């Protein structure tokens, strides 16, 4: 991984930990924001959406504190299928599988990519939203996250 001042080893003790996700929608669901150093433009867009959603603080440390608190007290919220925003990760109330909401469809999630989509209503009228509350708010405020190509998205 290259930094502004050269290269460094991954997972170096005493440094930040690199995390790798299928796509940005998956990272947001898990409560991880774009890196201000290696994804600076995306971080700026993220902070703008954070402000638009009236969430507290705007520094990486402020945002991380909110996300950490939400990860530690995670309780998926129930929502009506008709109220879902693109980028949300959801699951059926009694089903262990996860789905990405994208372009009016539910795309089954897996480590390898997304499966064949089904209509959102195929999930039922209510689902559990796995994406953290603050991340839902930034998506609702207009933050467009990168989606894996298997769901018709734009990740490399």
- For 56-78, how does the pLDDT look when each residue is reduced to its tens digit (9 = 90+)? 988 999 999 999 999 998 777 88
Distance of alpha carbon 96 from alpha carbon 152, whole angstroms = 23
Q: Is residue 63 part of a domain?
A: yes
- Mean pLDDT, rounded, of the chain: 86
SS3 assignment, position 128: strand
Q: Is residue 38 part of a domain?
A: yes
What predicted TM-score, i.e. pTM, was given to this entire model? 0.85
Q: Is residue 27 part of a domain?
A: yes
Q: Is residue 15 part of a domain?
A: yes
Q: Is residue 83 part of a domain?
A: yes
Residue 122's pLDDT is 86
Q: Is residue 156 part of a domain?
A: no
Structure tokens at 49: 């959406």
Q: Is residue 97 part of a domain?
A: yes
Which residue(s) pair with 6 in the sheet?
3
How many domains does the chain divide into? Answer: 1
Mean local confidence (pLDDT), 27-40: 90
8 or 138: which leads in pLDDT: 138
Structure tokens at 88: 């949300």
- Domain containing residue 63: 2-151
pLDDT at 147 over 80: yes
Q: Is residue 30 part of a domain?
A: yes
Let me know: does 101 contact 25? Beta carbons within 8 Å.
no
């Amino acid at each position: 991984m290259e930094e502004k001042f050269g290269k460094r080893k991954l997972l170096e003790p005493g440094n930040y930990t690199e995390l790798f996700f299928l796509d940005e929608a998956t990272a947001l669901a898990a409560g991880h924001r774009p890196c201000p150093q290696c994804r600076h433009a995306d971080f700026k867009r993220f902070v703008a959406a954070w402000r638009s959603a009236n969430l507290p603080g705007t520094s990486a440390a402020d945002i991380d504190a909110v996300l950490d608190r939400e990860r530690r007290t995670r309780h998926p919220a129930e929502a009506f299928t008709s109220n879902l925003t693109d980028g949300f990760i959801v699951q059926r109330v009694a089903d262990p599988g996860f789905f990405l909401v994208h372009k009016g469809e539910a795309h089954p999630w897996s480590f390898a990519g997304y499966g064949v989509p089904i209509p959102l209503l195929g999930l039922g009228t209510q689902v559990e939203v796995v994406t953290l509350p603050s991340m839902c708010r930034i998506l609702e405020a207009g933050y467009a996250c990168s989606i894996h190509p298997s769901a018709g998205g734009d990740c490399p």
